[in-house]
Amino acid sequence: MQLKQTWRWFGPDDPVTLQDVLQTGASGIVTALHHIPHGEVWSIKEIKKQKSVIEKTSLTWDVVESIPVHESIKTQTKNYKQHIENYRQTLLNLAACNIKIITYNFMPVTDWTRTNLNYVMPDGSHALYFDRADLALFDIHILKRKNARDSYSDAIIGEAKKRYKAYSSSRLDKLSSVVLSGIPGEKKLNVKKMKQQLDNYKEITHSVLKEHFKYFLEQIIPVCEEHSIKLALHPDDPPFDIFGLPRIVSTIKDVEYILSSVNNKANGFCFCAGSFGASANNNLIEIIKLIDNRIYFVHLRNTKRDEQGNFYEADHLNGDTDMYAVMKEILSIQQTLNIPIPFRPDHGHAMLDDMNKKNNPGYSCIGRMRGLAELRGLMLGISRSNDWN
């Protein structure tokens, strides 16, 4: 059995239409109700409305990505118990609409973070890029976070200062915009708001955040178990602390803790090769084997790192991750299951005609279609190879 081929779609305002998706080879949609503010309940009416739009094109809504976890839940402040109850109700409403794979993350304040959305590749296409010195520049000189220098080496601090003096005001504004860009279609942070949210984490250590996450899981797992909902936790992106915030889904030890702290089949993962692969310390095959049949959704993306820990998003079959080995291991798990695991080509380069169009960062049509085609070919090749078990 092969994996289910899906495509992330950001709703009616997505520049890549559902009609476009039909031509990519994908048959399933991964989406969310991005217009609903974090913490509010997704009503059955709104879920059915989105589902109906998708199904009119003969596609299916296979995975929710994502139901955001409200910041108050992560810090256990203010009305966090009400927000957990709202989360439970949203899960119930999705289950009533027969949508039962739910992706989410537990990253404090920021979601995925990059410093350049248009890194020029050798072939002229554009990729997403993470540069530690540029992040330090933003953190120290623009955000002006207290004790920010403690998060960086002397070499990075020096380079950040040098760049801050050299960059034009427009380039500094662009850097801020990129770092704060967040998820397409959702409300973006500004520097003032980010400072306020960082203040809420003054007393939140790794161990405290882990306990808050465990508590959150304990409150929602009973609903998931009763209604056959599969929670697919997305790892941190990038998989290390930033802005002095603890990140707790970055390493194999983090994965071990999460699986064992609430040992229930509903408590699973979205295996993201790009997120885990951005750290040289992560062995992706070991992580896949550890999660095993609690991998409920897969993001396939490749990265290329340098010695400083900077990385760009490479072609899907290139980069530092052995995508053949990753795909083979996931397909091996797939053969033990009765239903297909959905996967999607995660991100893609802006290339060809898409370079002249409006696109959500990382979510151009042609770049992802190239990635999906390569991954489909890889999947078919492995399934028919002589060394396939």
As annotated, the active-site residues are: 234, 272, 299, 346-347, 363
* Tokens found for residue 95: 């289950």
* Tokens found for residue 228: 């056959």
Q: How many CB atoms lie within 10 A of CB 352?
A: 14
Q: If we measure between CA atoms, which residue out of 117, 147, 110 comes closest to residue 134?
A: 117
Q: If we measure between CA atoms, which residue out of 276, 199, 178 comes closest to residue 236?
A: 276
Beta bridge partners of 233: 104, 269
Cα gap 38→187, rounded to integer Å: 9
Beta 267-272 vs 230-233: how paired, if at all? Answer: parallel
Cα gap 258→268, rounded to integer Å: 9
Omega before residue 66 within 30° of 0, cis? yes
